[in-house]
Amino acid sequence: MGIEERIQSQVLTSTLERFVNWARKSSVWPATFGLACCAIEMICTAANRFDIARFGMEAFRASPRQADLMIVAGTVTKKMLPAVIRIYEQMPEPKWVIAMGACACSGGIFRSYAVVQGIDRHLPVDVYVPGCPPRPEALLYGILKLHEKIQKDPFLTRKEGPVHVPAEVQVVAEARS
């Protein structure tokens, strides 16, 4: 029946939000950024057996300016923390953070003078992947959860605006500048 029939077989209708979110979640580029033991499992996830390319994420970028996902893979020490925060700040919006492993989630077994007890004290974490270290499958599960989260992101209608910067990050940024 006229134009509707033609359109139905060739055109998908969607909302702008759903479409943009679909595009964003389908090619999340992680920053090449390993801290400790978990980085080894992150590399395994990217290698041939677990093959992160299946989720459109094989483009690990060495420069944070080209990345939009930060996988905090490993122990964050107090000496490393300013560098971690700087890398996060260098990433363009929109950006996401996965805390991979017990150390990044909560400090893990290293309850010592040198270790930050969880990166969520300083960065807004989207997905926590527990384990010491988490298996590559666990990281992939966390990544899929992040994809779900991105797909549901109401970035057009959200009232407070698209960026959440926790108070600690502001404090650190101000102290340095």
Partner 1 sequence: MSQHPERLIVNVGPQHPSTHGVLRVVVELEGEVVVRCTPDIGYLHRGIEKLMEARTYQQCLPLTDRIDYLAGSANNLGFVLAVEKLLGVEVPPRARLIRVIIAEMTRIASHLFWLGTHAHDLGAMTPLFYAFREREQLMDLFEAVAGGRLFPCYFRIGGLARDLPEGWTTEVRRFCRTFPEKMKDYETLLTHNPIWIRRTRDVGVLTVDEVLDYALSGPVARGSGIAWDVRRADPYCGYEEFDFQVPVGQNGDTYDRYMVRMEEMRQSCRIILQALDRLPQGDIAVDDPTVTYPKKTDVYTKIESLIQHFLLVEEGIRVPEGEVFHHTEAPKGELAFYIVSDGTSKPFRARARTPSFVNLQVLSKLAEGRLLSDLIALIGTIDIVLADVDR
Residues within the annotated binding site for [4Fe-4S] cluster?
A: 37-38, 103, 132
Asked if residues 38 and 134 have their Cβ atoms less than 8 Å apart, the reply is: yes
Asked if residues 68 and 92 have their Cβ atoms less than 8 Å apart, the reply is: yes
Nearer to partner 1, 75 or 106 (CB): 75
What are the helix (H) ranges across 11-98? 16-26, 37-46, 81-90
Task: Tell which one of 37, 59, 169, 172 touches partner 1 (CB under 8 A).
Answer: 37
Query: Taking CB under 8 A as the rule, does residue 14 contact partner 1?
Result: no
Query: Taking CB under 8 A as the rule, does residue 80 contact partner 1?
Result: yes
Span near partner 1 by CB under 8 A; candidates 7-15, 70-78, 143-151, 167-175: 70-78
Task: Tell which one of 52, 71, 75, 104 touches partner 1 (CB under 8 A).
Answer: 75
Closest CA to 98 of 151, 39, 174, 176: 39
Query: Taking CB under 8 A as the rule, does residue 87 contact partner 1?
Result: yes
Query: Taking CB under 8 A as the rule, does residue 34 contact partner 1?
Result: yes
What are the helix (H) ranges across the chain? 2-10, 16-26, 37-46, 81-90, 101-106, 136-151, 167-176
> Considering the complex, what minimum distance in angstroms separates the CB of residue 105 from partner 1?
15
Beta pairing class for 96-100 and 127-129 = parallel
Residues that bind partner 1 (CB under 8 A): 32-37, 39-41, 43-44, 47-49, 62, 64, 74-75, 77, 79-80, 83, 87, 109-115, 132-133, 135
